[in-house]
């Protein structure tokens, strides 16, 4: 912080693999993965081996604190009088940035298809190259697939004895920027007034999660394949102002 600037930047690469990400305490359909976390074929549990439901492959986090170079004892405005400096000088900017790749998910065959387990349908199996995923507007509706019809053709139903391919696809990732602007007025050694302006989700980004697709919309036998039902529980752009007196 010697020159009025401090920052942190980190990148994490990780990979988690398991045969089921559900907790033992969950009942049959309490799965956090939409019903695809259970063992389908008890004779060959390894068929369920895949990346974990919580596998976030890439993550970037950054933060900074910057003293704006305006005001007394700073680069510009060192000759300002007390009134001007009290208004325009001594401001500090800060921010937090986060980006991560999407979480994995799989597709089901739809109701009425139980090739191996009479109560659990399992997942479908890719025929070849995986379809492109992200957030796309298809016929006016946000969709995880750029081309839902082609995506449906990229998979086949599991055969008797198969469990399907678990978590073969990736949903959209997380992107967020929060910024803040603050200033302190020191009256005495023990008394200070602080003003803060903070903005959350600066870009007003909308986030979607494949788990917000209904069971039928996550099945290749459904015409609404890949449609998102709703954004995740994230706030739109929010601003808040605070005035704090310390003594």
Domain boundaries defined on the chain: 5-246
Span 203-221, mean pLDDT?
82
Give the per-residue pLDDT at 28: 66
Averaged pLDDT score across all residues of the chain = 88
Give the per-residue pLDDT at 108: 87
Split at pLDDT 50, 70, 90, the class of 37 is: low
Q: Is residue 227 within 8 Å of 213, Cβ to Cβ?
A: yes
Span 215-244, mean pLDDT?
85
Phi-psi region of 7 (alpha: psi -120 to 50; beta: other; left: phi over 0): beta
Give the per-residue pLDDT at 89: 87
pLDDT tens sequence across 50-92: 999 899 999 999 999 999 988 887 888 788 888 888 888 889 9
Whole-structure pTM value: 0.78
Split at pLDDT 50, 70, 90, the class of 33 is: very low
Q: Which residues pair with 195 in a beta bridge?
A: 183, 243
pLDDT tens sequence across 151-194: 999 999 999 999 999 999 999 988 999 999 999 998 888 899 99
Please give the torsion angle defined by the CA atoms of residues 49, 51, 54 and 58, in that order, rounded to the nearest 10 degrees.
170
Residue 120 pLDDT > 70, yes or no?
Answer: yes
Task: Return d(Cα 200, Cα 198) in angstroms, integer.
Answer: 7
Ordered DSSP codes for 84-134: HHHHHSSEEEEEEEEEEPPPEE--B--TT--SS-SS-----EESSSPPPEE
The span from the first CA to the last CA of the chain, in angstroms, equals 25
Per-residue b/e over 165-191, b at no fewer than 16 CB within 10 Å? bbbbbbbbbbebbbbbebbeeeeeeee
Residue 36 pLDDT > 60, yes or no?
Answer: no
Q: Is residue 146 within 8 Å of 169, Cβ to Cβ?
A: no
């Amino acid at each position: 912080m010697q020159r009025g600037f401090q920052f942190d930047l980190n990148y994490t690469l990780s990979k988690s693999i398991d045969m089921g990400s559900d907790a033992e305490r969950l009942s049959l359909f309490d799965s956090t993965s939409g019903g695809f976390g259970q063992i389908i074929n008890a004779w060959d549990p390894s068929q369920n081996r895949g990346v974990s439901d919580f596998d976030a492959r890439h993550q970037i986090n950054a933060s900074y604190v910057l003293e704006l170079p305006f005001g007394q004892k700073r680069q510009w405005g060192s000759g300002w009088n007390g009134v001007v400096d009290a208004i325009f000088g001594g401001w500090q900017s800060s921010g937090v940035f986060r980006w991560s790749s999407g979480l994995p998910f799989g597709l089901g065959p739809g109701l009425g298809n139980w090739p191996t387990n009479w109560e659990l349908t399992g997942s479908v199996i890719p025929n070849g190259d995986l379809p492109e995923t992200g957030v796309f507007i298809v016929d006016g509706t946000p969709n995880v697939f750029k081309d839902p019809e082609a995506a449906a053709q990229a998979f086949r139903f599991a055969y008797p004895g198969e469990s399907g391919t678990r978590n073969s696809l990736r949903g959209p990732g997380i992107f967020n920027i929060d910024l803040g602007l603050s200033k302190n007025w020191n009256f005495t050694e023990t008394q200070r007034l602080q003003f803060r302006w903070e903005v959350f989700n600066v870009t007003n980004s909308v986030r979607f999660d494949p788990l917000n697709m209904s069971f039928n919309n996550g099945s290749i036998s459904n015409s609404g394949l890949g449609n998102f039902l709703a954004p995740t529980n994230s706030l739109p752009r929010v601003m808040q102002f605070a005035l704090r007196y310390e003594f």
